[in-house]
Structure 1
């Protein structure tokens, strides 16, 4: 059985990477690994039947499929004595479908399936995938549609939530401006948060976020349907600059989360004001809890020793040191404690097949109010 497991896991990674629309170079790397160093006829068939054959209609992104096919064919021609005819036939069909349907994917969106693997998975008969999130993402990240893109910090924060589910279970959680495609909200709901509020200050991003929550059966526009269902996700418009104190008080929860929201010095004062209000202790209900992974020895959290008031967890990639230092100073002036807990609270790896995801670039901050 162990030998069969060793063969099946690389194939599973290859398929999940395809569903997540990983870059072609990553798909090829996983294909080589699954084939023992080359894209063998067996791997070619797997890509054709298990990846492309059953999912191309669902993905509805012939450009991506065409590129993958072209790369796989080129790689197979170089690394294998045999290239199956099906690859050429599917490539021709994909080209024809794209040519005959010029309206395809005019929305500039693609559907990614992000599958979180159980870190304890060790045989093919166990539950390999613990959670699947279907997300509509932008294909125009460089054209101002960054809010509808999937960023490393969101993946990291999602792994953090799944690694320490007891921290978020039965808690009211608020992901402030920058909820983006809503992946963190899907994970919060999965671990049993009592209430999830997702917000963004961009109208088109908010529309896409709501659509994603609907796609994952977590949101409904009709208020009566929400009351009748177990829906626990609320999507709201919130702008840091425009939010009033009353707006923010309405959003006060036990836990505040954010991913990649420290990016612009001009926004820092507004972000700090929002955090100061949300982390005020007057109605704070957060207490120290045990949040170990499964049955492992537990740690006491918060990691910085605070036991009163709401907490904030921010995952961020420090792309500009000056911007981050600006945030750190503004937070200190506002009597906010910002502690880097990346090492102490390192999450488990739920996404080993996402080779494009650079976990090491993300920092995790725990923020509390000192006043």
Structure 2
């Protein structure tokens, strides 16, 4: 591809280049995509596309050191192939050289804009937007820009949500986010706000054990709860109050010292629960009225009334001994761990992201034997 008119930010490969830029992918990855856009070289037309649709839109990123590094490598790439560098790129790099201090590098946080790109085959999913692109801003620490697996697992967690839409038909009435670290919890709340989910101003000033409500701007009655939950100190009665249907976990198998507490929390959350006859009868009546399936409803009413929660875990197995320790403790805690990586991989929604290697992510279901 040699003509910038053929590059469209709404379709690959232009879409992949813009998405990689907004996600703050490594500069070498951006250069590689830019070469593909130019038929093997970063032509003037491709540079113009980058200038118009990436650098000029850089306010969405707001992390100048990243932009400086990318522009520097872009100029070097063009010069190394004896190409002609756009004057705008030289001027922009000169501005960064004179305005940025070296001590501004590597500090604080940056906001990545992650674009989940849905394929034609996923359009029937309820989680697929009409535009077939869902952009999720994520505030993350700058060490994640150097390949930290924390962001990778965060992306895996988000893809787990899309996977649930594929595997199960359910309506989320309530969502609870939890973490044992208050600073991480605060960042989770910040990311909810970045994605148009408002939070109460006094939420983090409350007692650790008190629920922090986060309400959606959509006007619905649904709400997200951000809760400080320490595996080590959480009482069993406190955990039992959650009564979840689905538990999602990402990057939670990492510290052998924490594993006994993790297994205890999972075992408590995933125990089967009795469903009241009132709820069961209501569901049966709804089946009869809405679907005319009286016979099936009668069979359901006669069946043992138990609700079985299920857990889904996405993790990178960094240390096989730690993971085997988790499996042993799970067995002792009457939990069944099943590897579903090969049969239920999430959709490939991040084709432009070289820093995210889905092949390193393992997916597991967790169920209780009790």
Give the alignment's TM-score, normalised by structure 1. 0.78
Distance change in 2, residues 1:198/1:283 (3 Å): farther
2:121 and 2:99 mapped to 1: Cα distance? 39
Distance change in 2, residues 1:369/1:241 (3 Å): same
Is the partner of 2:338 in helix, strand or coil? strand
- Please name the residue that 1:217 is paired with: 196
Q: Is the 8 A contact 1:169 1:194 kept in 2?
A: no
Residue 155 of structure 1 deviates from its aligned partner by 1.9
Write the deviation string for residues 257-277 of structure 1: whole angstroms up to 9, x where unpaired: 101110111111000000000
- Name which of 44, 50, 54 aligns with 1:51: 54
Q: Is the 8 A contact 2:27 2:73 kept in 1?
A: yes
- Please name the residue that 2:45 is paired with: 42
Q: Does the alignment pair 1:159 with 2:159? A: yes
Distance change in 2, residues 1:80/1:45 (3 Å): farther
What are the ranges of 5 or more consecutive residues in structure 2 without an aligned counterpart? Answer: 123-128, 202-211, 277-305
Greater Cα radius of gyration, structure 1 or 2: 2
- Please name the residue that 2:298 is paired with: none
1:120 and 1:333 mapped to 2: Cα distance? 44
- Please name the residue that 1:309 is paired with: 308
2:166 and 2:258 mapped to 1: Cα distance? 32
1:161 and 1:14 mapped to 2: Cα distance? 25
Distance change in 2, residues 1:333/1:217 (3 Å): same
Residue 216 of structure 1 deviates from its aligned partner by 0.7
Q: Is the 8 A contact 2:199 2:213 kept in 1?
A: no
Write the deviation string for residues 286-341 of structure 1: whole angstroms up to 9, x where unpaired: xxxxxxxxxxxxxxxxxxxxx95100000111110000000001001111000000
Pairwise CA RMSD: 3.1
Residue 129 of structure 1 deviates from its aligned partner by 3.9
What are the ranges of 5 or more consecutive residues in structure 1 without an aligned counterpart? Answer: 172-192, 286-306
- Shifted more, 31-40 versus 222-231: the winner is 222-231
Q: Does the alignment pair 1:73 with 2:67? A: no
Residue 168 of structure 1 deviates from its aligned partner by 6.0
- Name which of 16, 20, 23 aligns with 2:26: 23
- Please name the residue that 2:280 is paired with: none
Distance change in 2, residues 1:207/1:62 (3 Å): same
- Please name the residue that 2:303 is paired with: none
Write the deviation string for residues 138-185 of structure 1: whole angstroms up to 9, x where unpaired: 014599xx7xx74323323322322441556644xxxxxxxxxxxxxx
1:227 and 1:73 mapped to 2: Cα distance? 44
Is the partner of 2:197 in helix, strand or coil? coil
Q: Is the 8 A contact 2:157 2:314 kept in 1?
A: yes
Q: Is the 8 A contact 1:38 1:80 kept in 2?
A: no
Residue 106 of structure 1 deviates from its aligned partner by 9.0
Q: Is the 8 A contact 1:60 1:105 kept in 2?
A: no
Distance change in 2, residues 1:227/1:47 (3 Å): closer
Q: Does the alignment pair 1:226 with 2:225? A: no
Distance change in 2, residues 1:170/1:23 (3 Å): same
- Please name the residue that 1:241 is paired with: 232
Is the partner of 1:132 in helix, strand or coil? strand
Give the alignment's TM-score, normalised by structure 2. 0.78
